[in-house]
Structure 1
Amino acid sequence: MVTTDFQKIFPMGERLYIGLAGLATDVQTVAQRLKFRLNLYELKEGRQIKPQTFMSMVSNLLYERRFGPYYTEPVIAGLDPVTHEPFICSLDLIGCPMITDDFVVSGTCSEQMYGMCESLWEPDMEPDHLFETISQAMLNAVDRDALSGMGVVVHVIEKDKITTRTLKARMD
């Protein structure tokens, strides 16, 4: 049985998400192990985790398996629970982080996305404009890469709300 709606984005906190591109079994394993470690952290510390700390947790999990890595490329996006500062980064298979202020791409269609993201991205976009930009870049990449799936789920994280929209792409 083949599914076209495999979950690749996982909520890890109130304003913290991780996207995992890669081998389906490794995606599920990494998501479950991270949720376990995150629950332990929050029980021990008694507070929500900061995105930078979560990035270190993900990096450690991946680096532990560097000789037999999980085939996933994580992307972490979220807001700091106290300052509401945005945070976005990506990691490679062995946990090396790439922190940036603008955008990151990951997965089978990453080559197609770089050009679109570089041309469409602007600093300090409003949430609606950001959604349109993300949607255009993602749908363009998905249309050019059959392995990426049949649609896109876009999460726009704001200080007071999270907007989630599903976009359908062509199925051929």
Structure 2
Amino acid sequence: MSSVSLNAGCVVAMLGKDCVALATDHRFGIEALTMSTDYKKAYHIAPRMYLGMTGLPIDILMVRDRVLFRKNLYELRENREMSPKPFSSMLSSFLFEHRFGPYYVEPVVAALDPKTLKPFICNMDLIGCINESDDYVVAGTCTEQLYGMCETLWRPNLDPEELFEVIAKSIVNAFDRDAMSGWGATVFVIEKDKITERALKTRMD
């Protein structure tokens, strides 16, 4: 088992019409041993931006803190809110700087651009290779199941309520087929004027 998948978990981000959604599961474990069922994997980075990460918990917290520090310095220097693409590039550069002793994380960024309000999603590997998508991105131990469900259910121009239904069904059905993920999920739907957070109750075994 790789270090990235040691603690398991999954994250998925999905585009809609003028909105974007991010969903994570709640399980924190050490291989098959479940340690917690309310572990947080998504972080509010900016008014319309979320960062989800799976991997080693200490690396997740370290990457979050150091990237937030760099983001705050950027905003102080530029006197404006950081948009998703520069943030993703900064995160990618940070991970690539440590490629010889990498942080064992798989980040997923979901956001709306602060000026154009254009939806943006991307994921990257542990050394920062960016994969920007126009439909959905996934990370974690059940990526094959997530890709299958997303490919089946996703369609263009989903409104916020439809997007919630699609991403919720995708992540629940995916981690039901993965013993290393699950124990409920949280879905964030980001719109231009609000962020809706919903918790999903699922099978607890």
Question: TM-score category by the smaller chain?
Answer: over 0.9
- The answer to whether 1:32 aligns with 2:65 is yes
- After superposition, the C-alpha distances for 1:75-107 in whole angstroms (9 at most, x for unaligned) are 001000000000000011100100111000110
Distance 2:68 2:41 in 1: 14
Q: Which residue pairs with 2:78 in the alignment?
A: 45
- The structure 1 segments of at least 4 consecutive aligned residues displaced by more than 2 Å after TM superposition are none
- Picking from 76, 88, 91, the partner of 1:58 is 91
Report the alpha carbon displacement of residue 34 of structure 1 after superposing the two structures with TM.
1.1
Residues 151 and 167, structure 1, Cα contact 8 Å, conserved in 2:
yes
Structure 2 match to 1:20: 53
Residue 169 of structure 1: aligned partner: 202
Matched, 1:152 2:185: yes
1:70 paired residue number: 103
Once the two structures are TM-superposed, the CA of residue 149 in structure 1 deviates from its matched residue by 3.2
Greater share of strand? 2
Deviation of 1:7 (Å) = 1.1
SS for the counterpart of 1:146 is coil
Aligned partner of residue 43 in structure 1, secondary structure: helix
Q: How much has 1:2 moved relative to structure 2? A: 2.2
Q: Deviations over 1:122-169 (max 9, x none)?
A: 000010000000000000112111222311110001111111101122
Matched with 1:97 is 130
Q: Note the C-alpha offset of 1:28.
A: 0.9
Instruction: Render the CA deviation track for 1:10-61: whole Å, top value 9, x for unaligned.
Output: 1110001110011111111111111111111111111110100000110011
The amino acid across from 2:170 in the alignment is: A
Q: Distance in 1 between matches of 2:35 and 2:127?
A: 29
CA distance in structure 2 between the aligned counterparts of 1:148 and 1:84, rounded to whole angstroms: 32
Q: Distance in 1 between matches of 2:48 and 2:41?
A: 17
AA in 1 matched with 2:128: G
Gapped regions of structure 2 (runs ≥ 5) = 1-33
Letter in 1 for 2:122: C
- CA contact 1:142–1:151 (8 Å) conserved in 2: no
Q: Tell whether the 8 Å contact from 2:42 to 2:50 is kept in structure 1 after alignment.
A: yes
Number of positions where the alignment pairs a residue of Structure 1 with one of Structure 2: 172
Residue 107 of structure 1 is aligned with which of 140, 147, 162? 140
Q: Percent identity of the aligned residues?
A: 56
Structure 1: gaps (5+ residues): none
Counterpart in 2 of 1:116?
Answer: 149
Instruction: Report the residue type matching 1:49 in the other structure.
Output: M
Provide the residue aligned with 1:141 in structure 2. 174
Q: Distance in 2 between matches of 1:53 and 1:34?
A: 12
TM-score normalised by structure 1 residue count: 0.97
